């Protein structure tokens, strides 16, 4: 045997090395185990982890700005947002083109709502601009069409802008045929000479064919195509070498284009809304132009992005940190009161004969089986000023009729109702741990001379701590994310961070902010769990046995 | 075996049912989303039942209007819109339209003209807010008070809400800045015409919050329209704001000692939108339903069941008596001249812009 080890690897019966043979056997076992849990694993990944990750990703996502205003964002790259000058005219022109296209695709108002979270007035600024943007560049369109009616007709544009083979296919196509419209292919000669026009026309063609599902041969080009054509021609596009369709008309236009009336887009934009001449608007656009933003996270800790980097929000808008702290403190209070109320109950249940204990256990479980909403609404009836508790107190003469206690719509209400609702989560682990503590230990302590208190405190209590630990973690983590009970009985001073998350999800529609708040909550809970593990040790937590 | 057979048969039947739709090109089933409660009931009686009778379509009710915008956005992102017609307030319709989640409506071709031939665009008039919204009713947010808790001088002005000396006790206000800020400024000496100019400024917003701060400790903030009626019935509050139809139910149907304080009521609109992203069959069905449900007679019929004013001018003369109580409905309408002496119209444009900003300040103020 020893020879074998010294001379070479230990071999299994089939001649392979024992190590790899063992590994193979183990791997097969592991694989089988994995296959057994695979359905659950895949289910959890698909229905739980993936949506959460997707939702949390929204807290940094900001592509909407660069997707909707690609040219403006590119043009703003060189603009110094810390200076006090407005962006150059080219940026305004880029903005005109972007909003024109966005308006056709009905995306501009969506961007307006997004930016309105950062700067008041963006919503109506984009809506208003979208409504007027169509008229803005028409000056060029009119001049081209006045010059030569050739430019009026969609059918004349296609042969100029499209590759010959595509034009033939497009002309042969009819909507009634039921076949898909042949996708637009640009004319390479024109794309070289008139790059901007070709780019705008490609956008237009893509929109008409794929989003509007209209016949490209029957749809007149957008005004931006005309203004792009003006730009190309006026910046000296060399069309002398071009001989394809429309060459004559292009040359005619190139000859006179210098005398065309021009549009000052910065003046035109400012005329639509004076906010376009406001530095604030442009700074916000620039600060929020990257694809990913820390803005939502800053917002959820009462800060905001500005041109000088992150800064605190004004005093009268700060409250998320306070809300986080309040949520933590109230969850601790609720956990504490659950321990105080649950411990004696668990103790009695564990020490009664099992027949009586089972009966009492049903009393603990019965409310647990009742709908959460019903229990919370019942507390409303109990706690309100004209409610059962106050009526009883007044009847007993403990409280004057005109100074009834405020027990609801404040933090007191939240603590009372949530303690009641979460109590079973404390009692059950306590009970199952206490059940396993042998009675003989306390008896032994007493027989050795301990008083009742010492026997309890030195012998019994330490053994029940794992139950307290388990119950506390359950109650604390459940309560920190509670939503419905604080919403109904909490009023303003008893509401939690989860109520704000719900508000941003369903009312204000600021999903980015809701995701950021949720991510912070998740990290805080995991951090506390980690701290708990370090201090108490998660091995000391027992749910039973 | 048996199970497989059953499954196969069911599938075959479902497919067959799907193919043989009512009119060949329209869906035979539709999901209509509304607010639930008495309001949905009034729609069921006035719109759904006659429509189902006429066409044989099955209408499924969903009571999700309160979260309609968020849910529609989620459905749209998932690429599976399951709703056909959605009842929302005008402000939400504007947002849905802005986000491209609601279909644009041409009133003159898609809605029925008035019986005398007036095109729908004129019949609805100014109430056609935005491009996607088909108004249905005019409702108002206003105050109700306990007649037995206000002493000998019942309140006649909205400023009674801010008068803790004359009317001690709790009040219920909605947990959002809209309407509350306007009322606060109005009672702080700002002229009605200047309210929104003042509210645009930082100082104006602070002024409104300061005014609200004078009664903050006596306010119960509500977020569901049913809260205030409940609180009034329990005697928890002296007065509170809510939708006028809810107060009508408390006063006339439940006979509680409650009265209306119409002063400075804020008009708002509720109506339909059709989501984008429907299949052509479902869209055709939805449009057909809308055409039917928003004609002059149908809108007037709804007022038999709930005290909200029909959105068409031509419907007003047709408003009759309550279907069960038999009382005249006209005096209970927010638009009745006696009730509408001092009114506000919800300023959609202003709140679309300032909502995020003022909301943030309002929420921070509440938490302080």
Q: In terms of C-beta density within 10 A (0-12 exposed, 13-18 middle, 19 or more buried), how is residue B354 classed?
A: buried
Is the dihedral angle over the CA atoms A508, A509, A513, A516 positive or is it negative?
Answer: positive
What is the predicted pLDDT for the residue at B22?
Answer: 41
Q: How far apart are CA A434 and CA A343, in angstroms?
A: 10
Counting runs of H as helices and runs of E as strands, what totals does chain B give?
15, 10
End-to-end CA distance of chain A, in Å? 46
Which residue, A314, A272, A335, is CA-closest to A476?
A: A335
Contact A107 B100 (CB under 8 A): yes
From B272, B303, B298, B305, select the one nearest B286 (Cα to Cα). B272
Average pLDDT of the segment spanning A390-401: 93
pLDDT in tens, A44-79: 999 999 989 998 999 999 999 999 999 999 999 999
Distance CA B219, CA B229 (A): 15
| H helix runs in A273-371, sequence order | 279-287, 295-300, 320-351, 354-369
Which residues in chain A are closer than 8 Å to B95, comparing Cβ atoms? 113, 509
The minimal CB distance from A509 to the residues B73, B235, B365 is found for B73
Task: Write down the pLDDT at residue B5.
Answer: 54
Unique residue bearing structure tokens 């229905």: A47
B354 CB neighbours in chain A (<8 A) are 120-121
Confidence of residue B166 (pLDDT cuts 50, 70, 90): very high
Contact A112 B98 (CB under 8 A): yes
Chosen from B175, B353, B355, B359 to mutate, greatest number of chain A CBs within 10 A: B353
Contact A317 B223 (CB under 8 A): no
The CATH class given to the A320-540 domain equals mainly alpha
For the cut 90, the answer to whether the pLDDT of residue B330 exceeds it is no
First to last CA, chain B: 66
Average pLDDT, chain A: 90
Flag if A509 and B357 touch (Cβ within 8 Å).
Answer: no
Distance, CA of A467 to CA of A315 (rounded, Å): 44
Cα of B159 to nearest chain A Cα, Å: 23
Kindly determine whether residue A505 and residue B70, on different chains, have CB atoms separated by under 8 Å: yes
Domains by residue range for chain B, with CATH: 24-138+270-318 (3.40.190.10), 140-268+335-367 (3.40.190.10)
Give the helix ranges, DSSP H, for A173-314.
188-193, 195-206, 223-234, 247-256, 265-272, 279-287, 295-300
Instruction: Select the residue of B70, B100, B221 nearest A491 (Cβ to Cβ).
Output: B221
| Yes or no, beta carbons of B100 and A110 under 8 Å apart | yes
Residue B153 corresponds to which tokens in the numbers above? 């001088």
Distance CA B368, CA B365 (A): 5
Does the beta-carbon distance from B206 to A492 stay under 8 Å? no
How many Å separate Cα B296 from the centre of its chain? Answer: 19
Contact: B99, A120; criterion CB under 8 Å: no
What tens digit of pLDDT does each residue of A480-499 get?
999 999 998 988 888 999 99
- Chain B residues whose C-beta sits inside 8 Å of any chain A C-beta: 66-67, 69-70, 73, 95, 97-100, 170, 175-176, 206, 209, 220-221, 223, 234-236, 349, 352-357, 359-361, 363-368
Facing residue for A113 by CB, picked from B70, B99, B220:
B99
Mutate to test the interface with B, among A51, A280, A409, A510 (most CBs of B within 10 A): A409
From the list B221, B235, B353, which residue is nearest A124 (CB)? B353
Span A310-326, average pLDDT: 90
Task: Name, in order, each residue with C-beta under 8 angstroms of B166's C-beta and a sequence gap of 6 or more.
Answer: B151, B153, B155, B160
- pLDDT score of B99 more than 60: yes
ipTM value: 0.85
Query: pLDDT, tens digit, for every residue of A442-478?
Result: 999 999 999 999 999 999 999 999 899 889 998 999 9
**Which positions in chain B touch A414 (Cβ < 8 Å)?**
none
Q: Provide, as residue numbers in chain A, all residues whose Cβ is less than 8 Å from the Cβ of B352.
A: 116, 123-124, 127
State the alpha helices, DSSP H only, in chain B: 2-19, 37-43, 49-55, 68-78, 90-98, 107-110, 120-124, 180-186, 195-199, 202-213, 227-234, 244-248, 280-293, 296-302, 348-367
Per-residue model confidence as pLDDT tens digits over B256-301: 999 999 999 999 999 999 999 999 999 999 999 999 999 999 999 9
- Our CA-based measurement puts residue A208 at a distance from the nearest CA of chain B, in whole angstroms, of 17
Give the integer Cα–Cα distance in Å for B172 and B143.
Answer: 9
Q: Which element (helix H / strand E) includes B31?
A: strand B29-33
- Whether residue B236 and residue A107 make contact (CB cut-off 8 A), yes or no, is no
Task: Give me the residues paired with residue B14 across strands.
Answer: none
CB contact under 8 A, B356 and A316: no
Chain A: closest CA distance from residue B283 (Å) = 17
Structural element, H or E, at residue B33: strand B29-33
* Three-class secondary structure of residue B222 per DSSP: strand
**Could you read off the pLDDT of A102-114 as tens digits, one per residue?**
998 889 989 998 9
- Per domain, the residue ranges of chain A are 2-57, 66-136+264-287, 138-259, 320-540
Phi/psi at A450 (5° precision): -75, 145
Q: Do A386 and B206 touch (CB under 8 A)?
A: no
Contact A390, A399 (CB under 8 A): yes
Decide if pLDDT at B9 tops 60: no
Q: Which of B71, B98, B210 to mutate to test the interface with A (most CBs of A within 10 A)?
A: B98
Please tell me the distance in Å from B326's CA to the nearest CA on chain A: 33
- Chain B residues inside the 8 Å CB shell of A491: 220-221
Residues from chain A that touch B64, judged by Cβ atoms under 8 A, are none
The pLDDT value recorded for residue A238 is 83
């Amino acid at each position: 045997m020893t020879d074998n080890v010294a001379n070479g690897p230990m071999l299994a019966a089939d001649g392979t090395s024992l190590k790899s043979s063992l590994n193979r056997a183990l791997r097969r076992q592991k694989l089988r185990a994995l296959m057994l849990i695979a359905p659950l694993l895949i289910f959890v990944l698909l229905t739980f982890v993936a949506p959460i990750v997707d939702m949390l990703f929204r807290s940094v996502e900001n592509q909407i700005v660069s997707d909707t205003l690609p040219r403006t964002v590119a043009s703003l790259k060189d603009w110094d947002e810390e200076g006090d000058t407005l962006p150059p005219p080219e940026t305004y022109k880029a903005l005109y083109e972007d909003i024109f296209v966005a308006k056709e695709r009905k995306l501009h108002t969506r961007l307006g709502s997004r930016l309105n979270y950062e700067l008041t007035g963006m919503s109506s600024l984009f809506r208003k601009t979208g409504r007027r943007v169509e008229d803005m560049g028409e000056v060029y369109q009119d001049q081209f069409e006045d010059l030569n009616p050739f430019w009026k007709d969609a059918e004349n544009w296609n042969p100029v802008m499209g590759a010959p083979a595509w034009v033939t296919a497009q002309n042969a196509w009819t909507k009634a045929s039921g076949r898909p419209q042949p996708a637009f292919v640009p004319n390479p000669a024109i794309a070289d000479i008139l790059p901007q026009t070709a780019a705008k026309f490609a956008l237009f063609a893509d929109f008409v064919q794929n989003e509007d599902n209209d016949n490209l041969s029957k749809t007149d080009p957008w005004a931006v195509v005309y203004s792009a054509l003006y730009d190309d021609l006026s910046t000296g596009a060399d069309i002398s070498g071009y001989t394809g369709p429309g060459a004559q008309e292009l040359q005619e236009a190139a000859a006179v284009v210098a005398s065309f009336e021009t549009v000052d887009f910065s003046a035109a934009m400012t005329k639509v809304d004076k906010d376009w001449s406001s530095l604030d608007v442009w700074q916000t656009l620039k600060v929020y132009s990257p694809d990913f933003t820390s803005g939502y996270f800053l917002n959820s800790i009462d800060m905001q992005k500005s041109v000088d980097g992150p800064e605190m929000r004004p005093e009268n808008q700060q409250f998320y940190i306070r809300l986080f702290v309040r949520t933590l403190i109230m969850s601790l209070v609720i956990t504490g009161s659950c321990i105080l109320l649950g411990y004696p109950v668990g103790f009695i249940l564990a020490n009664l004969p099992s027949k009586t204990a089972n009966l009492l256990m049903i009393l603990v479980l019965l409310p647990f089986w009742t709908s959460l909403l019903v229990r919370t609404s019942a507390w409303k009836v109990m706690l309100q000023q004209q409610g059962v508790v106050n009526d009883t107190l007044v009847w007993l003469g403990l409280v004057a009729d005109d100074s009834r206690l405020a027990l609801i719509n404040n933090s007191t209400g939240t603590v009372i109702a949530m303690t009641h609702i979460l109590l079973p989560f404390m009692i059950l682990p306590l009970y199952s741990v206490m059940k396993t503590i042998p009675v003989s230990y306390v008896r032994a302590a007493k027989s050795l001379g301990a008083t009742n208190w010492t026997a309890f405190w030195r012998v019994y209590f330490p053994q029940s701590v794992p139950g307290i630990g388990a119950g506390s973690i359950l109650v604390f983590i459940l309560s920190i994310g509670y939503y419905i009970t604080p919403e109904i009985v909490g009023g303003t001073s008893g509401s939690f961070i989860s109520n704000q998350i719900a508000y941003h999800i369903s009312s204000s529609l600021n999903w980015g902010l809701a995701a950021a708040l949720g991510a912070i909550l998740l990290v805080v809970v995991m951090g506390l769990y980690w701290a708990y593990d370090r201090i108490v040790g998660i091995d000391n937590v027992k749910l039973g046995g | 075996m048996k199970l497989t057979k059953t499954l196969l048969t069911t599938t075959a039947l479902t497919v067959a049912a799907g193919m043989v739709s009512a009119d060949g090109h329209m869906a035979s089933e539709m999901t209509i989303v509304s607010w639930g409660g008495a309001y949905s009931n009034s729609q069921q009686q006035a719109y759904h039942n006659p429509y189902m009778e006429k066409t044989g379509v099955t209408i499924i009710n969903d009571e999700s209007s309160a979260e309609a915008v968020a849910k529609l956005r989620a459905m749209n992102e998932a690429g599976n819109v399951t709703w056909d017609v959605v009842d929302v307030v005008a402000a939400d319709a504007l947002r849905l339209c802005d986000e491209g989640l609601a279909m644009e409506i041409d009133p003159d071709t898609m809605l029925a003209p008035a019986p005398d031939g007036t095109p729908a665009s004129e019949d609805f008039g100014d109430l056609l807010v935005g491009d996607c919204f088909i108004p249905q009713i005019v409702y108002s947010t206003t105050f109700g008070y306990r007649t037995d808790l206000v002493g000998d001088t019942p309140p006649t002005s909205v400023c009674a809400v801010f008068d803790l000396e004359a009317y001690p006790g709790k009040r219920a206000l909605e947990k959002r800045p809209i309407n509350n800020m306007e009322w606060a400024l109005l009672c702080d000496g700002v002229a009605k015409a200047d309210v929104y100019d003042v509210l645009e400024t930082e100082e104006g917003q602070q002024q409104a919050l300061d005014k609200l701060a004078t009664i903050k400790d006596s306010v119960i903030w509500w977020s569901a329209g049913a809260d205030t009626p409940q609180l009034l019935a329990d005697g928890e509050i002296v007065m509170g704001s809510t939708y006028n139809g809810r107060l009508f139910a408390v006063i006339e149907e439940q006979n509680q000692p409650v009265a209306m304080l119409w002063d400075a009521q804020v008009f708002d609109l509720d109506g339909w939108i059709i989501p984008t992203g429907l299949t052509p069959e479902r869209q055709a069905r939805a449009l057909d339903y809308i055409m039917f449900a928003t004609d002059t007679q149908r809108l007037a019929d709804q007022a038999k069941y709930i005290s909200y004013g029909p959105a068409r001018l031509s419907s007003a003369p047709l408003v009759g008596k309550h279907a069960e109580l038999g009382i005249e409905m006209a005096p209970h309408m927010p638009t009745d001249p006696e009730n509408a002496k001092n009114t506000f119209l919800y300023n959609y444009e202003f709140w679309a812009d300032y909502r995020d900003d003022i909301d943030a300040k309002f929420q921070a103020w509440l938490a302080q």
